[in-house]
Amino acid sequence: MEAEKTGKRFVGKVAIVTASTQGIGFAIAQRLGFEGASLVISSRKQKNVDEAVEKLRGKGIEVLGVVCHVSNSQHRKNLIEKTLQKYGRIDVIVSNAAANPSVDSILETKESILDKLWDINVKASILLLQDAVAHLQKGSSVVLISSITAFNPPAGMSMYGVTKTALLGLTKALAAEMAPNTRVNCVAPGFVPTHFAEFLTKSDEMRNSLVEKTLLNRLGKTEDMASATAFLASDDAAYITGETLVVAGGMPSRL
């Protein structure tokens, strides 16, 4: 049983995880739930929200599902309001929503695509926190989900990588602004074969070339990202803020 391997660091706490009905977001939500959090999960489609809620409840997790397209102002406000109506507090926010709608080089990327990348990958985190900040408890925690591509944006994902670089700076800036009551940290996942990253991992050749760049000789698992996020969100990381934790199997990132 997966839940038996976990601690109970989030008992009595309320956690919001965006884009959390599948992939890395779902794994993060599930981990926080196994550790006792009351969860609020969200994504763009009601069907996906309902299915994810059912799965989590089936594992004994207390969860509320809300449809939220993070670039929609009313959706973001509704997410915070529904959380407060049901649970009355917010202790953890994990901002996981991201889009990668193009494989064009930066200089060939259409303005509408640049706007979408900026809106979802960077601006939505800021605006969600603007709505939430007045309701965050003392000792609360924010985790932004960046990417290994933040450190060296690869061809075919270059503008996506640049938006993820922005999250590294945003983590530092918000950590200073939200201290001392709220810690802000960041997880930079390596390559994880999810639906979101399907185009990178569906061909054996591409997959093998990514595996070769790691030291641990494998791609990441969603659970790897969930355990790192849970650590940063928990009181085990009570003296850590403004940091980015790279979870990429030793793939090159920084010195």
Task: Report, as residue numbers or ranges, the catalytic residues.
Answer: 160
Amino acid at 242: G
Q: Which burial class, exposed, middle or buried, applies to 111 when counting CB atoms under 10 A from its CB (0-12, 13-18, 19+)?
A: exposed
- Listed in order, strand segments (DSSP E) in 60-199 are 63-67, 90-95, 136-145, 182-189
Report yes or no: 215 and 158 within 8 Å, Cβ to Cβ.
no
| Order of strands across the sheet that contains 136-145 | 63-67, 38-43, 14-17, 90-95, 136-145, 182-189, 244-247
Gap between the Cα atoms of 164 and 152, Å rounded: 10
- To which H or E segment does residue 246 belong? strand 244-247
Tokens of 86: 């049901």
Q: Which burial class, exposed, middle or buried, applies to 63 when counting CB atoms under 10 A from its CB (0-12, 13-18, 19+)?
A: buried
DSSP 135: G
Gap between the Cα atoms of 145 and 17, Å rounded: 11
Tokens of 12: 């009595």
